[in-house]
């Protein structure tokens, strides 16, 4: 990895001075102006991109991220095609090379930058965007599911950085990949089910891919999957998702599990998202069966108050949509 250039070293010194407790407000104001001037220079983003894999100075790291984000959000139309491709490819390379133990805040922020570029280029300038997201989801679950959620977040974003027509078109194009997306997520959901059931001594499953074979990461990985699915449910047309297995897996994860009660509660919240939109349900018979089976759980009386509240809310939504 290349060392920072002289320009970046000077900027890092300014950032460090800005956050030093002994720096006066007047000096901070001066530094702020200098940093903003740097961000407005034509190739500031190019200098900052090279520093994104470095996490030794969090203040400077976030300044670099902010500079790239300003370029995407405010200066994108001014970039020529070569610069756009360079920025996009550098972000993809940086993100895809992250290890599984990268701090979550940094991972999420770079995923957002990748999604911001995808929002502007998919499908015309970057037709492979969603295919690359799904390939990353297959090979590196945590990075893939984070980027998938970030992409979904941009579809529902209220930021006025693209036109409403462009946002609707983006939603339509991404929705074409939903069957393939849910097919991949279903495989991970099955791993979650087998792994959490195994933890209770009911089943066993060896050679699980990371992070599902790691006890310390299993609950977070399962929750990450459910949060991503909930976000997709909040906007996506589900008419062309006809395989029942994924929805059945969600209801399996929603069953009370004392050892993984946060997963059970998160799964209930995810299922409830289907009803908040007040749209026709996909596979209504599968969903009705799932709700009934949740109510018939032998261990339901052992569940905690929060789980029972979430299940009551799901039942209220279900009965309201079915009979009102």
Mean pLDDT by 10 residues, the chain (324 residues): 70 97 97 95 92 92 97 95 97 94 93 98 98 97 98 94 94 96 95 77 55 87 97 91 90 96 97 91 93 96 97 95 65
Q: What is the pLDDT of residue 271?
A: 97
Q: What is the pLDDT of residue 201?
A: 43
Using DSSP's 3-state secondary structure scheme, residue 46 falls into helix
**Does residue 141 belong to any structural domain of this protein?**
no
10 Å Cβ neighbour count for 129? 23
pTM: 0.92
Let me know: does 270 contact 232? Beta carbons within 8 Å: no
**Does residue 228 belong to any structural domain of this protein?**
no
Let me know: does 162 contact 155? Beta carbons within 8 Å: no
Distance (Å, rounded) from C-alpha 230 to C-alpha 225?
9
Let me know: does 133 contact 92? Beta carbons within 8 Å: no
**Does residue 155 belong to any structural domain of this protein?**
no
**Does residue 67 belong to any structural domain of this protein?**
yes
Q: What is the pLDDT of residue 206?
A: 53
Q: What is the pLDDT of residue 177?
A: 96
Give the residue among 114, 219, 214, 53 at the shortest CA–CA distance from 122: 114
**Does residue 136 belong to any structural domain of this protein?**
no
Distance (Å, rounded) from C-alpha 314 to C-alpha 290?
11
Give pLDDT tens digits for 235-277. 999 887 778 999 999 999 999 999 999 999 999 999 999 999 8
**Does residue 4 belong to any structural domain of this protein?**
yes
Parent domain of 40: 1-79
Locate all alpha helices (DSSP H) within 157-260, ordered by sequence.
164-175, 178-199, 215-233, 245-253
Give the residue among 316, 232, 302 at the shortest CA–CA distance from 270: 232
Look up tokens 């280029």; give the residue. Answer: 121
Using DSSP's 3-state secondary structure scheme, residue 297 falls into coil
Distances (CA, A) of 299 to 77, 194, 287: 57, 18, 20
Give the residue among 126, 45, 35 at the shortest CA–CA distance from 79: 45
Locate all alpha helices (DSSP H) within the chain, ordered by sequence.
6-19, 25-39, 44-49, 58-74, 81-96, 104-121, 129-139, 141-156, 164-175, 178-199, 215-233, 245-253, 261-276, 284-295, 305-323
Q: What is the pLDDT of residue 203?
A: 44
**Does residue 57 belong to any structural domain of this protein?**
yes
Length of the chain: 324
Q: Say how many Å lie between the first and final Cα of the chain, rounded.
A: 62
Using DSSP's 3-state secondary structure scheme, residue 114 falls into helix
Q: Which long-range contacts (CB under 8 A, 24 or more apart) does 16-24 make?
A: 16/57, 16/59, 16/60, 18/59, 19/59
Q: What is the pLDDT of residue 208?
A: 66
Q: What is the pLDDT of residue 289?
A: 97
Distances (CA, A) of 217 to 195, 269, 293: 12, 21, 28
Q: What is the pLDDT of residue 279?
A: 86
| Residues 80, 85, 86: CA angle, nearest 5 degrees | 100
Q: What is the pLDDT of residue 198?
A: 57
Counting the structural domains of the chain, the total is 1
Dihedral, 270, 216, 145, 276 alpha carbons, nearest 10:
10
Q: What is the pLDDT of residue 301?
A: 93
């Amino acid at each position: 990895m290349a060392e920072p250039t002289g320009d970046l070293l000077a900027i890092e010194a300014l950032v460090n001075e800005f956050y030093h407790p002994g720096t006066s407000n007047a000096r901070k104001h001066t530094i702020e102006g200098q940093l903003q001037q740097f961000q407005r220079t034509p190739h500031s983003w190019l200098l900052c991109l090279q520093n994104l894999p470095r996490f030794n100075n969090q203040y400077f790291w976030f300044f670099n991220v902010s500079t790239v984000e300003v370029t995407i959000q405010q200066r994108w139309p001014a970039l020529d095609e070569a610069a756009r491709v360079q920025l996009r490819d550098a972000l993809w390379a940086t993100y895809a090379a992250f290890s599984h133990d990268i701090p979550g805040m940094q991972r999420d922020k770079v995923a957002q930058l990748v999604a911001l570029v995808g929002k502007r280029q998919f499908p015309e300038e970057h037709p492979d965007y969603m295919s690359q997201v799904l390939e990353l989801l297959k090979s590196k679950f945590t990075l893939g599911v984070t980027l998938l959620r970030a992409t979904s977040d941009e579809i529902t974003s209220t930021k006025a950085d693209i036109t409403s027509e462009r946002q609707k078109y983006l939603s339509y194009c991404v929705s074409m990949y939903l069957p393939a997306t849910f097919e991949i997520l279903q495989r991970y959901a099955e791993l979650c089910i087998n792994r959490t059931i195994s933890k209770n001594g009911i089943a066993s499953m060896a050679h699980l891919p990371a992070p599902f074979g790691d006890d310390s990461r299993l609950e977070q990985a399962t929750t990450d999957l459910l949060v991503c699915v909930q976000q997709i449910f909040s906007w996506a047309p589900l008419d062309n998702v006809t395989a029942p297995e994924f929805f059945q897996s969600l209801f399996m994860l929603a069953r009370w599990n004392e050892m993984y009660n946060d997963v059970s509660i998160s799964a209930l919240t995810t299922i409830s998202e289907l009803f908040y939109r007040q749209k026709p349900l996909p596979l209504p018979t599968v969903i009705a069966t799932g709700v009934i089976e949740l109510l018939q759980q032998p261990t339901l009386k052992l569940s905690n108050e929060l789980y029972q509240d979430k299940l009551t809310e799901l039942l209220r939504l279900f009965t309201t949509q079915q009979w009102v």
